[in-house]
Structure 1
Amino acid sequence: MYYQFYGLKEAPFNLTPDPRFCFLTNSHREVLANLQYGVQARKGLIVMTGEVGTGKTTMIRSLFETLDKTVLAAYILNPKLSLSDFLQLLVINFGLKNVTSKATLLERLGKLLVDRHARGLITALIIDEAHALSAQLLEEVRLLSNFETYNQKLLQIVLSGQPELRDLLNRPELRQLKQRISLRCHIKPLTPAETRNYILSRLEIAGAVNPFIFANRAIELVYQYSAGVPRIINNICDNALLSGFALERGLIGEDIIREVARDFDLEPPTSDFNTTAPDVSLALEPSGAGEVDVEQRQPPGELARTDAISGQAIRHGGPQAFGGACKQERRWLRLFKM
């Protein structure tokens, strides 16, 4: 809807994880390197954690893209399963035949793992949203990790989940599973500089000739309201572009960001900015030494490709809900008049 107005070819801030927009911060690169090393070096059990919306699923998809045909990986996206459903998914994902019981499954799976290992091949089990796993399924994961030779694990297991996964693994009854963890990694939210590069990069990938659509302080507010979480950044920026289009504003200022934040009932920044200062877009060039990393010094065409994180923020609520809804209605009326 706002593409032509801002010179875009497509939506730059979709909530789906499009690999074309993959943006790897230092934290994401470190996590991806840990996942690659853990699987390829046959380290066994690997745990990845991160707050909601920081890109855990995107890291899993990036891992899949880096693995070659020597790796057979089963991916379980929804861990809220019964034991029988969990075992059935293993049968389907690993292509096991004539499985009539759990004992048969373990026997067939053992043969598959031994055969693949003998041929230099890797087998992996990747479980997303692992913080939602029941204690019973976590015990099954521990038992699956027992497939091993004298010096290597036969099944590489990746558990990905929110920080609650760490608390879950710290339970006394799961200490045996915790002791089997060979690698741990955690995705950090974006820094202010990474948030700016993230926004500019996504706009440039979406076709913007001039990606400086967001004023400097608007980007600062996006960072503060989102706390550097990519999913929330995407939601704020997408709605800000819609508002800017409705208002015929070629430059997204801090007033639009504040309005969008009120509409989504986001917490206000802990420290505010001087609202009387001029709002200038081209103040976005890198500042002095010590504040800018290598990615910041790159021109927009060379920015690291970015990562779109899927999900959805909660809309409306709180004392500003009625006023926000009225503004949304006026915004849509402007759109329909165009």
Structure 2
Amino acid sequence: MFKSFYGLTLNPFDKSLAVKHAFNSKDHKNMLDRLNYLQKTRGVGVFTASPGMGKTYALRCFADTLNPNIAELSYICLSTVSINEFYRQLCLELGLEPLSRKADMFKAIQERVRYLLKEKKKTIMIAVDECQYLDTRILRDLKMLTNQDYDSSDYFALVLVGLPHVNNILAKPVHEALAQRVVVHYNCEGLTKEETTDYVYTRIEAAGGARSIIEEPAIHAISGYSNGAPRIINSVMTNALLLGAQLQKKTIDSEVVLAATNNLILG
């Protein structure tokens, strides 16, 4: 409904927007830089952020840049599973047939990543999203999976992505050995006020719209409400566009944004 009213070719705040339209915020750039470093060095990387800050989207953008002949990102998002179920997921991601015994799957996974790196010159990156939900035994086994050739080589990169309290989990004595293997650590802080303004305008322009669709003070109101979380910004803007079209307002102002945020709060 609002697309034709505002002259947009698509919803610029839909989460399925092509990665070519990704906004290069400080957080986004820092995550990509560190993921690229991790691809080259391997080892363990930890990326944390509050919900909706764009960490998973950054992973998707990074995966899109990889040359499949030299690197591959395996993505696991179901972290609330048993240790055997986790091993089965990992086997499937690596093109292996899941086995009945954990020890056999452990050995097969280690041999697979070693073969791909040594023989095929291909780096495997295993990304585990929502890692704050991982069972302690899984985290312990992930540490052991990285231990090859008497702990002298890293044959794959492990990317742990989750909420900030992941840091508290890794700080526990039981996970000290895993924490010591972390070579990259980054916490996303969200978009600044200036970045939020650029983000909104960039997305509108990507959909063929004009900046005049929304007033800058209205964007500042969104920035304050969202605390820089792109997911919340997207929700508010989508609601604001819907309301603006219903009210026949060619320019979205702070009043429309306030109504849009109230709609979200009330559900």
Shorter-chain TM-score category?
over 0.9
> What SS does the corresponding residue of 1:28 show, helix, strand or coil?
helix
- Give the letter aligned to residue 101 of structure 2: S
1:73 aligns to 2:81 (yes or no): no
Corresponding residue of 2:183: 182
CA contact 1:49–1:187 (8 Å) conserved in 2: yes
Under a length normalisation based on structure 1, what TM-score does the superposition of the two structures give? Answer: 0.74
Distance 1:83 1:41 in 2: 27
Give 1:183 deviation, angstroms: 1.0
Task: Write the mapping of 1:269-280 to structure 2, written as runs, cut at 5 A.
Answer: none
Give 1:151 deviation, angstroms: 5.0
- Give the letter aligned to residue 234 of structure 1: N
Task: Write the mapping of 1:100-139 to structure 2, written as runs, cut at 5 A.
Answer: 100-119=100-119, 120-139=121-140
Distance 2:3 2:237 in 1: 13
Corresponding residue of 2:47: 48
Corresponding residue of 1:142: 143
Give 1:36 deviation, angstroms: 1.1
Corresponding residue of 1:297: none
- Give the letter aligned to residue 144 of structure 2: L
Distance 2:49 2:94 in 1: 28
CA contact 2:52–2:231 (8 Å) conserved in 1: yes
Q: Give aligned pairs, total.
A: 265
CA contact 2:128–2:160 (8 Å) conserved in 1: yes
Corresponding residue of 2:56: 57
> What SS does the corresponding residue of 2:157 show, helix, strand or coil?
strand
Runs of 4+ in 1 over 6 A off after TM superposition: none
CA contact 2:236–2:260 (8 Å) conserved in 1: yes
Task: Write the mapping of 1:143-292 to structure 2, written as runs, cut at 5 A.
Answer: 143-148=144-149, 152-208=153-209, 210-265=210-265
- Against the structure 1 CA distance between its residues 247 and 148, is the aligned structure 2 distance closer, same or farther, given a 3 Å change threshold? farther
Distance 1:229 1:125 in 2: 25
Give CA deviations for 1:22-76 in whole Å, capped at 9, x if unaligned. Answer: 111122111111011112222x111011111111111111121122122243211
CA contact 2:147–2:153 (8 Å) conserved in 1: no
> What SS does the corresponding residue of 1:73 show, helix, strand or coil?
strand
Give 1:167 deviation, angstroms: 1.4
Give 1:16 deviation, angstroms: 3.7
CA contact 1:148–1:155 (8 Å) conserved in 2: no
Corresponding residue of 2:21: 21
CA contact 1:71–1:122 (8 Å) conserved in 2: yes
Give 1:17 deviation, angstroms: 5.5
CA contact 1:144–1:155 (8 Å) conserved in 2: no
Corresponding residue of 1:303: none
- Give the letter aligned to residue 45 of structure 1: V
- Give the letter aligned to residue 14 of structure 2: N
CA contact 1:25–1:190 (8 Å) conserved in 2: yes
- Against the structure 1 CA distance between its residues 17 and 82, is the aligned structure 2 distance closer, same or farther, given a 3 Å change threshold? farther
Distance 2:98 2:247 in 1: 63
Distance 1:17 1:129 in 2: 22
Distance 2:240 2:97 in 1: 52
- Give the letter aligned to residue 224 of structure 2: Q
Give 1:150 deviation, angstroms: 6.7
> What SS does the corresponding residue of 1:264 show, helix, strand or coil?
helix
Give 1:261 deviation, angstroms: 1.7
Corresponding residue of 2:89: 89
Corresponding residue of 1:99: 99
- Alpha-carbon RMSD across the aligned residues, in angstroms, is 1.7
Q: Which runs of 5+ in 2 are unaligned?
A: none
Give CA deviations for 1:115-141 in whole Å, capped at 9, x if unaligned. Answer: 222232212211011111121211111
- Against the structure 1 CA distance between its residues 150 and 162, is the aligned structure 2 distance closer, same or farther, given a 3 Å change threshold? closer
- Against the structure 1 CA distance between its residues 47 and 165, is the aligned structure 2 distance closer, same or farther, given a 3 Å change threshold? same
CA contact 1:23–1:198 (8 Å) conserved in 2: yes
Under a length normalisation based on structure 2, what TM-score does the superposition of the two structures give? Answer: 0.93
CA contact 2:55–2:188 (8 Å) conserved in 1: yes
Q: Which has the higher helix share?
A: 2
